[in-house]
Amino acid sequence: MSIQHKELAGGRWAEMSLAEQMANIGSEVSRALNWQKKGKEDLSQKAFNRALELLDMTIADIKKYSRLKELFRVREAMVDFFCGTNQFCSSELLWRKYFDHFAYLARK
């Protein structure tokens, strides 16, 4: 898989706060959900892959174990929701609410 966010991967991502990073991840998740709702699975998958790429950059940048643990859980649940059997019973509303808090915090 090629890097979609080349500029961010080049170092700009690490300069953002965790709230800004999570808000950006949430934007990609929101795009994936919107495309999924419209039945455009290929576009939904591309947006999901971009969200994973950003989440992986965040995980690579985190030093605190407590934050890493949550991010790994988020990653696991996202993969389960978009690519798996949804064993964690996630929903579109749950994902939107989760990431909306970060968007609010990033803009504050």
pLDDT at 12: 81
Q: List, in order of start, the domains of the chain with CATH numbers.
A: 16-107 (1.20.58)
Could you count the other beta carbons within 10 Å of the beta carbon of residue 28? 22
Amino acid making up residue 91: S
pLDDT at 108: 80
Enumerate the H helices of 1-108 as residue ranges: 6-7, 13-15, 18-37, 41-61, 65-83, 92-107
> What is the spatial distance between Cα 24 and Cα 11, in angstroms, rounded to a whole number?
15
Local mean pLDDT, 10-residue blocks, the chain (108 residues) = 58 87 96 97 96 93 81 96 96 97 91
